[in-house]
Structure 1
Amino acid sequence: MGTDNLIFLEVIEWFDESGRELVHRIPETGSGEIKWGAQLTVRESQAAVFFYNGRACDVFGPGRHTLKTGNLPILTKILSLPWGMKSPLRAEVFFVNKKVFPNLKWGTRDPAAFRDSELGLIRLRAFGMFNIRVLDPLRFINELVGTQGVYTTEAIAEYLSSVIVSSFNDYMGENIDTIFNLPARYSEMAEALQNLLQGEFSRFGLGLDELYINAITPPPEVQKAIDDKSRLGVFSDLNSLMKMKAAMAMENASSAQGEAGAGMGMGVGLMMPGLIAEAFRPAPSTTTAPSAPAPAGNCPACSRPLPSESRFCPSCGHALPAKSLCSACGASVPDGAKFCSACGVPVTAPSFKNCAKCGSANPSFSTYCNRCGERL
């Protein structure tokens, strides 16, 4: 037999040198004449799907497989003669990488509207990562890959990211009331989203291994409003907050002056401690302290001040002269008053009686002498 009649066996295999390819097609473009008896080598983390005449014939697992009559037609150059030595019986092999592909990024391209119970209608951005793996190679090729020669993680991550964002928006609207409660619920939300997305990913022959939420952020103006609100909890009133903002503005202005404004920057630096101390100083109390009783004059014996309504000097004990008193209730009556301010009885000239011991005058209703305490 001459060498012209020999048909050499083919070896079909694929190495993923980039580490980012999900699917690799052999040949990458068009289709090929895979000969009878060709050797197909599939590695541990791969699966190979053999297509013949546009249909998937078989899925091969790890190992070395010989393509024979059962899964490949017998092609010879003789059968190719009517088509110009090119056989119409075309075949191709898709290698599918079944390892876990980690750290694929997802995120909102445009801010999503969210009705917050405390802030009203705001817009949010969300970012995170997810891990995937191919579970059903044949379904994955038929649903997503099609006839592409190479299908990388970058090509599929953009589409899967849009699927995740859609479910994220639905979950936020149904389960979250305010963004102030978000930081403590990232893990809970990620787990709930992963469960929601498992069915959607399995429709493409994929498995969602993990999903992470890195951040959910409002626009800068909403973040500024939240920061201002948190500062109000530190300072006693709005005046202190405004003083602090003025001090910060002056500090920023001084730092931007450069060499030409070095003197101004030094002056502002000297003013900063006083401004900050003023901002943290407690606000003055609005309650009025009780005033001390007005003095009623000086004691005739020791000349020391006397509190009002005193009958004896608190310093020396000297009995003080009797004042004008109401004859009905005994309350002090201001000079010139016609009626008692305590009981309303008309004021009459007071009547007195003298103490038999010391001779001092005492009101007629007194039982004991105001000066010596003798019973009257």
Structure 2
Amino acid sequence: MSSTDNLIFLENLEWFDETGQELLHRLPERGSGEIKFGAQLTVRESQAAVMYYKGRAGDAFGPGRHTLRTGNIPIITKLLSAPWGMTSPLRAEVYFINLKVFPNLKWGTRDPVAFRDSELGFVRLRAHGIFNVRVIQPVLFINTLAGTMGKYSTEQIEEYLGRVIVSRLNDYLGETLDTLFSLPAQFNEMAEELKKLLISDFSRFGLALDELYIGSITPPDEVQTAIDDRSRLGLIKDMDSFVRMKAAMAMEKAAAAGNEAGAGLGMGMGLMMPHLFAGMQNNQSAAKTQCSACGKAVAAESRFCPHCGHATDEKPATVICSACNSENLSGAKFCHGCGLKL
């Protein structure tokens, strides 16, 4: 288009987001322009537009076709701009704002966050998730965040908003979370509460946090291993039987190997087995007690003696010796104190 055409024809302003990631796009893309009186502006349903004229923002334009009014009259304004090098001082630009929801923006901790767990003590946590954002106040968004930039994409805002989310998450965990073991069942509730804390942080830029999801909150590998070990121990009711089973399985694998290494391992396990069973026998003997009536060995958990039928928690009947007043078990033939026949 020649310079003569620029003097005569009016602009037809519209914009399409080909990338799907632009929150804002300015026309003209470089600097400001001489938008003429009567220029046509077309705004789509998912957009809003704001014209800045003489450095000030006008009202936001909604969907539809709009006629713009400026002081730039075709041909006349150009001729009157001679003192400014044939460039009109009545500068204008139009900002298109994408009002759609921008999904799948990522947030996460760059460094582990210290947290006091009621059961594990101090642990360091990492957290990750996604969030959706959209523009709800176009003029506020331009004036506070985008400024005079020609383009503003989710890539430019994702990192900053992600740090804001992590900061609020740290505060929330410190105030409400008791232990990591209750975390998995609370992700949805935590996300909802976290959204409430972030409303003011987003709205000050003309943005709305549409959705927030917590993907994971995880401790370091060593803490995770300790949690897994604790879970396994909770499933094992009889530790002695578990150890013996593992030892027997190791011997079976060693025998199946059929080589020198397997033979050596089998021999080593064979030497260990007597100690394992000896420990089992010691545990069994330690679990026995003596019947107070007949004096024979009785299992500690038994309620009655299998030899005489006496209740283990009942005091046995006694006989007093007439000679030395010693107390003897009922049924004794001789006094244990003086030997007198009872």
- TM-score, scaled to structure 2: 0.73
Displacement after TM superposition at 1:347 (Å): 3.5
- Asked if residue 206 in structure 1 is aligned to residue 204 in structure 2, the reply is no
Residue 10 to residue 117, structure 1, CA distance change in 2 (3 Å): same
Displacement after TM superposition at 1:243 (Å): 8.4
Displacement after TM superposition at 1:240 (Å): 4.6
Segment drifting more, 198-207 vs 82-91: 82-91
Displacement after TM superposition at 1:331 (Å): 3.6
- Asked if residue 39 in structure 1 is aligned to residue 67 in structure 2, the reply is no
Q: Residue 73 of structure 2 aligns with which residue?
A: 74
Q: Determine the C-alpha separation between the residues in 2 that align with 1:330 and 1:80.
A: 132
Q: Residue 259 of structure 1 aligns with which residue?
A: none
Q: Determine the C-alpha separation between the residues in 2 that align with 1:265 and 1:35.
A: 93
CA contact (8 A) 2:27 2:95 kept: yes
CA contact (8 A) 2:240 2:280 kept: no
Q: Determine the C-alpha separation between the residues in 2 that align with 1:198 and 1:246.
A: 60
Segment drifting more, 190-199 vs 28-37: 28-37
Q: Determine the C-alpha separation between the residues in 2 that align with 1:245 and 1:116.
A: 36
Q: Residue 180 of structure 1 aligns with which residue?
A: 181
Q: Determine the C-alpha separation between the residues in 2 that align with 1:132 and 1:87.
A: 38
The one-letter code of the counterpart of 1:64 is R
Displacement after TM superposition at 1:234 (Å): 2.5
The one-letter code of the counterpart of 1:90 is R
- TM-score, scaled to structure 1: 0.67
Q: Determine the C-alpha separation between the residues in 1 that align with 2:170 and 2:181.
A: 17
Q: Determine the C-alpha separation between the residues in 2 that align with 1:32 and 1:283.
A: 91
For residues 1-376 of structure 1, the aligned pairs below 5 Å read 4=4, 7-69=8-70, 73-74=72-73, 76-235=77-236, 236-237=238-239, 240=242, 267=262, 285-286=283-284, 287-288=287-288, 331-333=332-334, 340-341=335-336, 344-347=337-340
Q: Residue 374 of structure 1 aligns with which residue?
A: none
Q: Determine the C-alpha separation between the residues in 2 that align with 1:231 and 1:237.
A: 11
Q: Determine the C-alpha separation between the residues in 2 that align with 1:174 and 1:4.
A: 68
Residue 238 to residue 224, structure 1, CA distance change in 2 (3 Å): farther
Q: Determine the C-alpha separation between the residues in 2 that align with 1:183 and 1:142.
A: 40
Displacement after TM superposition at 1:167 (Å): 0.6
SS of alignment partner, residue 233 of structure 1: helix
- Identify unmatched segments of 5+ residues in structure 1: 255-261, 295-307, 310-325, 334-339, 349-364, 366-376
- Identify unmatched segments of 5+ residues in structure 2: 296-306, 309-320, 324-329
Residue 78 to residue 230, structure 1, CA distance change in 2 (3 Å): same
The one-letter code of the counterpart of 1:237 is M
Q: Determine the C-alpha separation between the residues in 2 that align with 1:140 and 1:203.
A: 8
Q: Determine the C-alpha separation between the residues in 1 that align with 2:224 and 2:108.
A: 19
The count of aligned residue pairs is 290
CA contact (8 A) 2:128 2:217 kept: yes
**Greater fraction helix:** 2
The one-letter code of the counterpart of 1:74 is I
Query: Which of 1 and 2 has greater Rg?
Result: 1
Q: Determine the C-alpha separation between the residues in 2 that align with 1:103 and 1:49.
A: 27
- The sequence identity of aligned pairs, in percent, is 60
